[in-house]
Every structure is written in C-alpha cells, then in structure tokens.
Structure 1
Amino acid sequence: MTTVERRRSPNGFNLVPPPGWDVIPLRTGTREAMDAIVRKAVSQLPAGFPKDDIPKARLKLTQEMKKVVRRASAKGGMTLYLPTEPLHGVVLPVSIVASAPIEIPRVRPGSGPEAVLAALASVTSGAETRELDGIAALRSERDVPADADKGVDVAHRRVEYFVPVPDSDPDQYLSFSFSALIAPGSDPAFYDTLVELFDAVMGTFRWAYA
C-alpha cells in the first residue's frame, strides 16, 4: 500500500507594505499599535507647532484611526495597513485590509478553488486572474460612488484580491481589500498610480509556514 502524504497548509502570510506605512493587527495588540503610531505622528509635528494644540492633534488622530479600525474590524479584517508618513507632503488617503480566512462551499462535489474562482469571476465586474506565490487568485477593481444609504460616506476606488489558502481542508480563502478615497474633481491618473502601488504590494505576498 502506498501512503500519500498530505501537503501542509500555510498558517499565515507575509506582505511588505511601502515605506512610510504601518501595520495594525486587528485581533490582538490593536491599541498598542495605534498608540505607537500616534506617538510617532506627534513627535513629527513641525517645530513651530503650538504646544497647546498638541493634545487636540493627538485626540483628532486617535479618533480618526479608531474609525478606520472599527470599519476594518466590522468587515472581518485581521490586519490593517495604513500610510502614516507624508509622501511629497501629503498622507495618502488609502488603506489595505487583510481579512480572516473564510470558507466557501465548493461549486460542485469534487471541484476545487479553481471552480470557485471561475464562478466568482462570472458574477464580479472587472475580475481577472492573477498569480500570488504560485496560487491563482481573483482580482477585481471598481469605483464605488458615495451612497449614504449604504453607509458609503466618500467615493473610493476599490481593488480586491481573493486568494485560496493552498491545501486547506475545508477550502479557505483570504481577501485583501485596497481602498483609495476619491476627491471631487481629482485626476483619475492619480488613482491609477495608487492602484499600481497596491498591485506592487500584493506582488510581495508570500505564504508563511511555521
């Protein structure tokens, strides 16, 4: 009798954010990560910044960060990536959220993730297949208009990667969502550049094995 050894499923992943970005874990250590980011931001205030206004600046930054963290956590996020240092004097209005593994039933008995991705691609606008660390993943891109009734306060460009976890049983998937706020009258080419940045970040994706 021949014994077939099952390959190990990864227990995590590695993703390299751009310089000037920070990582906020959303399951444990969230508060500590936020506090460190706030301390760094306050330490980088201009030399002439009024000392009496520092507590207000600290409070405003903390409140804004808590809002972003709450939204990411509400969507099942497990890790939040944020730019926290200015680029050419501007802090980019973008974020990346890595969401927890989810289970999706197979399209039909005996089918694998390829069938699931094909089914999702057929109903997802702007979907295409990309390869991440040797695994086929589904990428989609779209502009989301502001819609207060749906809880969307500001229009944004959204790019998502849907990634099967190899050798998982049952089949599990990770999702990576990039969001860039769209300012009225802004140049679409600027957001194309931000999307290229996110795609470059996803190019650093690697599975982790303990």
Structure 2
Amino acid sequence: MTDNATEPATPPTGYHLLLPEDWVQIPLRQGDAEASVSSIVTAAFTRVPNGVPRDKLVPLRLELKRRLLAAVAEARKADVLELYVPMKLGGELNLGASFTVAQVRLPTRSGAGADPNGVSDPSGVAVQLLAGHRTAGMVSADMSSGEIDGAVAIRRERVVAAAPEHRAELASRRVEYLVAVPADAGQWLVVAFSTIGAGDPEDGLSEALVEWFDALMTTFRWSWT
C-alpha cells in the first residue's frame, strides 16, 4: 500500500494515459463534445486514399458521425467524463471497442450523517467489494485488487448479455478499473472498457483487446497541473 509519508496533500486535478494514435478522446465534462466529434470525423477522413469516389465517402462520413454522437449521448446518460474510441479507418476489421472514464463517490464512516456501514479507507472498500463479489457468486465475472500509480485499485472483468432494448445487439466483454483518488476520501475514478470482439465477447480478438486495455492501464498516471 501507499506510504503515508509520501501521500499527496491535495487531490489530483487529472490523469494521463499513453493513448495509441489510432484512439481518440471525446471530452464530455467541458467543451463541446459535438464539435469534438466533427473534428474527429474530419481528421479521420483526411487519411482516406485519393481516388475514392466522393459519393462513397459521404454516407460513410455521415454514418461515422451518427455513431459517435449516439455514443456521446449514451455516455452522457451515465455521467461519463471522457469517452475513448478507436478511429482506424483503413482496415476491414471493426474493433467494436471503447472505454470511458467516470467518477463515483462511495460512503465513508467519517463526517456527520455518514453511512455507518461505509468504509473508512480505500483498502477497506477493496476488501468489502471483493467479499461482496465472492458472496454473490458471480461465475461470469472476475475481480481482483492491487495498485495503480500508488492508489488502491479494483479490477473487474465480466461478460454482459445482449440487451437490444438498450441498443446493445451483441453480448460484450467488459473490464472495469475502480481507482481510489489520492487525498480525496470516498472518491474513485472508474475506467470502463467494453468490446464485442469479432462478434463473440469470448473470442481471440476479445482476449487480445482485453490484454491491450490492461497494458494501457499500466500507463495510467495522476497529474496535479
């Protein structure tokens, strides 16, 4: 666990990830997400080879923009801070993957009116969540704990069934990292990845993308700027 003597005195103001160049961030907490989507689509289509007929590009461009705006709308419903999507247009393979970053606050024992069943520190939260996971006996999920950039972190992996009523036509494989925010009791950052693989959330592509996301999370760093 983190040494108390080296713990920061103030909460971080943000975070950094070493994002591959074919992935883009759409910020939702500030700025104009719709303008960001327009810029991303424009940039993506500058990479299309010369000679491709315009009448073929226009429908593709409109469909890409529609899908990104739909993803933005869904992310806003979940109070997401940032949405990350792959934008590699050259290949025939659709990764069917994305991840989001959000914040949640869990109850603590300190303070007037606090939940008496709450936990007092991130380690306690981890123990409680892991114990609850084992009690629930969720055979389709895997949960573990550790640290990310010196902060307590919990990782959960699961397969979620298709939900056509929520525009999720295929089952998906999801990996979530719940990371305690330093110097801010009860505040956690949730980084949630989702993929449908090549149509099966348990196929080889899904496995490779989960490994990629786990590797990406090793680059996570807090920032105080």
TM-score range, shorter chain: 0.7 to 0.9
Q: Is the 8 A contact 2:173 2:201 kept in 1?
A: no
Q: Is the 8 A contact 2:25 2:85 kept in 1?
A: yes
Q: Structure 2: how far apart are the matches of 1:191 and 1:11? A: 33
Corresponding residue for 1:165? 181
The amino acid that maps onto 1:188 is D
Corresponding residue for 1:155? 171
Q: How does 1:28-39 map to 2 (within 5 A)?
A: 28-39=31-42
Q: Structure 2: how far apart are the matches of 1:109 and 1:47? A: 60
Aligned with 2:16 (options 10, 14, 17):
14
Matched, 1:51 2:54: yes
Aligned with 2:131 (options 101, 117, 122):
122
Query: How much does 1:151 deviate?
Result: 5.4
Aligned with 1:176 (options 188, 191, 196):
191
Name stretches of at least 5 consecutive residues in structure 2 with no aligned partner: 1-6, 110-116, 134-140
Q: Structure 2: how far apart are the matches of 1:123 and 1:95? A: 27
Query: How much does 1:178 deviate?
Result: 0.2
Matched, 1:209 2:224: yes
Query: How much does 1:19 deviate?
Result: 2.6
Taking a change above 3 Å as real, the CA distance of residues 85 and 152 of structure 1, as seen in their structure-2 partners, is closer
What is the Cα-based RMSD across aligned positions, in Å? 2.4
Q: Is the 8 A contact 2:75 2:83 kept in 1?
A: yes
The amino acid that maps onto 1:132 is I
Taking a change above 3 Å as real, the CA distance of residues 95 and 52 of structure 1, as seen in their structure-2 partners, is same
The amino acid that maps onto 1:189 is G
Corresponding residue for 1:84? 87
Name stretches of at least 5 consecutive residues in structure 1 with no aligned partner: none
Query: How much does 1:136 deviate?
Result: 1.6
The amino acid that maps onto 2:191 is F
Aligned with 1:98 (options 87, 101, 124):
101
Q: Is the 8 A contact 2:18 2:216 kept in 1?
A: yes
Q: Is the 8 A contact 1:162 1:176 kept in 2?
A: yes
Identity over aligned residues, as a percent?
32
Taking a change above 3 Å as real, the CA distance of residues 10 and 157 of structure 1, as seen in their structure-2 partners, is same
Query: How much does 1:8 deviate?
Result: 1.4
Matched, 1:140 2:153: no
Query: How much does 1:144 deviate?
Result: 1.0
